[in-house]
Amino acid sequence: MDHFFTSKTIAHLMDVLSSIKQARGVANADFIHDSTELEIMDQNTRTSAQYESLLQLTSSRNALRALLDMSDRKIESLRKYTSYFLGKGMKSLPDEVLSHVFEISYGENCYNTGGYRWDRVWQLRDSRCFSVAVSSVSRRFRRVALDSPRIWCHLDNIMNPDLLALFISRSRGALLHLHVAGGNRKTSMDHFLELAATEAPRWATFSVDARFLTTGEETTIHQCRDLLLPRLTKLVHIIDYTTVPKDMEV
């Protein structure tokens, strides 16, 4: 059912809301009708003005009631669709949906496999923290997380060897995304690639941050040329901070 509001009524309601906004959310009866102006009027003028105010307030009240009724109906309709979920909360989500939520959240925290800003090491840490944290929330979260191999599929040599082995194990058959960098890392380049090479058929992306590589590390990476990588679709090679990484489709 539609309701019609006059322009005068709409203007009055907007003035009231504007006054409340200017008062930083504090409502006052004078915002609806200020009677101070009536006090300086003569009797006849005051009576006429009071009658006009009565009509205006009545119209505004009826408009607000109509809006309130429409809001009540919408609220009731929404409650019918949301009452079950609100009552059950997270428990009402099937494991498949919860797993999908984990995967989306993991993707938001992991480093960007689109080839932009691979130097953001903190994103690598965030992705690892998410996987470990979400699997520690509750028994159900742990079960779903361990059954979600795609939230364990990003590997890097910033991980220590034990964590790296854990992620490889939990990623099962999921495609892997690898990132290696030079410098002081928790897992040496040769050890990282030795572990990752056992899963070479699952490599999907491989990025190399070459800004701080030693000659020995470069030699180790060159040995990857002998690996069979049937599912590799992207290589990223970072030279320095000012160079935008270029994707190389395989």
Helices and strands (H, E) in the chain, number of each type:
9, 5
Taking Cα atoms as reference points, which of 147, 164, 153 lies closest to residue 231? 153
Task: Answer yes or no: do 12 and 52 share one domain.
Answer: yes
Task: Answer yes or no: do 101 and 164 share one domain.
Answer: yes
Residues in the chain: 250
Q: Kindly report, residue by residue over 120-134, the tens digit of the pLDDT.
A: 444 555 667 889 989
Task: Answer yes or no: do 74 and 111 share one domain.
Answer: no
Task: Answer yes or no: do 105 and 82 share one domain.
Answer: no
Per the structure, the complete domain to which residue 119 belongs is given by: 95-249
Contacts of 216 (CB under 8 A, 6+ apart): 189
Task: Answer yes or no: do 162 and 214 share one domain.
Answer: yes
Task: Answer yes or no: do 30 and 114 share one domain.
Answer: no
* Residue 52: CA count within 13 A, CB half-sphere: 11
Phi, psi for 235 (deg, rounded to 5): -125, 140
Work out the average pLDDT over 84-104: 80
Task: Answer yes or no: do 35 and 141 share one domain.
Answer: no
Task: Answer yes or no: do 65 and 136 share one domain.
Answer: no
Task: Please indicate, yes or no, if residue 119 is contained in any of the structural domains.
Answer: yes
Q: Kindly report, residue by residue over 139-197, the tens digit of the pLDDT.
A: 999 999 999 999 999 998 888 899 999 999 999 999 999 998 877 778 889 899 999 99
CA distance linking residue 9 with residue 55, whole number of Å: 10
Q: Helix or strand or coil: residue 92?
A: helix
Task: Answer yes or no: do 196 and 115 share one domain.
Answer: yes
Residue 221 pLDDT > 80 = yes
Question: pTM (2 decimals)?
Answer: 0.56
CA triplet 106, 130, 247: central angle to 5 degrees? Answer: 40
Task: Answer yes or no: do 99 and 209 share one domain.
Answer: yes
Task: Answer yes or no: do 169 and 111 share one domain.
Answer: yes
Please, are residues 245 and 114 in contact by the beta-carbon 8 Å criterion?
Answer: no
Encoded tokens for 200: 């070479």
Indicate the residue among 37, 68, 90 that finishes a domain: 90
Indicate the residue among 90, 114, 132 that finishes a domain: 90
Q: What percentage of residues in the chain have a pLDDT greater than 70?
A: 82
Task: Please indicate, yes or no, if residue 112 is contained in any of the structural domains.
Answer: yes
Encoded tokens for 228: 């069979």
Task: Answer yes or no: do 84 and 110 share one domain.
Answer: no
Phi, psi for 104 (deg, rounded to 5): -65, -45
